[in-house]
Amino acid sequence: MATQKSTNTTPTRQMGPAEMSGLARRLQARADSVLLRDQPEQQSDMRAAARLIERLLRTSTDILVNIVGEDGTTKRSVPLREAIGDDDVEYDDCRKTLLADGRCTTGGGAAPLYHLTLAGTEELARLRAEIRRAADSTEDESTERYLRELLGGA
C-alpha cells in the first residue's frame, strides 16, 4: 500500500492503552502526593494531563482520519484501521506519522493514493499542549520522560 521507505521521523516506541492508563494513574498519584503541595500549578498541570489521557483512552479506540482521494473526494472521521486495512506495518507507520505530523499518505503503485489527516486535530492539539505543559513543568525526570514519550519524544 505504501512506499518501502518510512515517513516516520520519530522512531520512538508508542505507548499502548495499558501503558497510557498507568501513566495517567502515576501522574494523578504524583499530583496528589505531599511532595508537590508547595507547587499548585504543577499539581494542576499533572492532574489535567492525567484527565486528558484517561479521556483520550475512553473516547477513542482508534485514530479518526479524514481521507482525501486522488479525485478530491473526502471521507471524514474514518477509523485509521478501516482506512489502512489489515497491513499492520503500514498502520503503525501511518499512526506514528499522524501523531507526529498530523498527516500521512498511503497507497500508490497499483493501489489508489490517499492523503490522510487527523480528524478533530483541534482536540488533539489541545491534548498535546496540556501534556507538553505538564512535561515542561514537572521536576520529576521519570514523569517528564513518560510525558515526552507520550508525545512521541517531543
Residue 34 and residue 73 in one domain: no
Higher-pLDDT residue of 55, 121: 55
In-domain check, residue 113: yes
Residue 74 and residue 87 in one domain: yes
> What is the pLDDT, as a whole number, of residue 26?
92
Arithmetic mean of pLDDT, 70-76: 86
Residue 76 and residue 32 in one domain: no
Residue 136 and residue 94 in one domain: no
pLDDT digits (tens, 9 = 90+) for 10-44: 555 667 777 888 889 999 999 999 988 899 999 99
> What is the pLDDT, as a whole number, of residue 123?
64
Q: Which residue range is the domain that position 128 belongs to?
A: 17-60+121-150
In-domain check, residue 38: yes
CB atoms within 10 A of CB 83: 22
- Say what the pTM is: 0.41
Residue 100 and residue 69 in one domain: yes
When divided into structural domains, the chain yields a total of 2
> What is the pLDDT, as a whole number, of residue 1?
47
In-domain check, residue 3: no
Residue 126 and residue 89 in one domain: no
Length of the chain: 154
In-domain check, residue 9: no
Arithmetic mean of pLDDT, 54-81: 80
Provide, rounded to the nearest whole percent, the portion of the chain with pLDDT above 90. Answer: 9
Measured between its terminal Cα atoms, the distance across the chain in Å is 28
Residue 68 and residue 54 in one domain: no
Q: Do residues 116 and 132 make contact, with C-beta atoms less than 8 angstroms apart?
A: no
Residue 125 and residue 56 in one domain: yes
Range with the largest mean pLDDT of 26-30, 59-63, 77-81, 95-99: 26-30
pLDDT digits (tens, 9 = 90+) for 132-148: 888 898 888 888 888 88
Residue 105 and residue 131 in one domain: no
CB atoms within 10 A of CB 46: 29
Question: Could you give the CA distance from residue 140 to residue 55 in angstroms, rounded to a whole number?
Answer: 23
Residue 101 and residue 29 in one domain: no
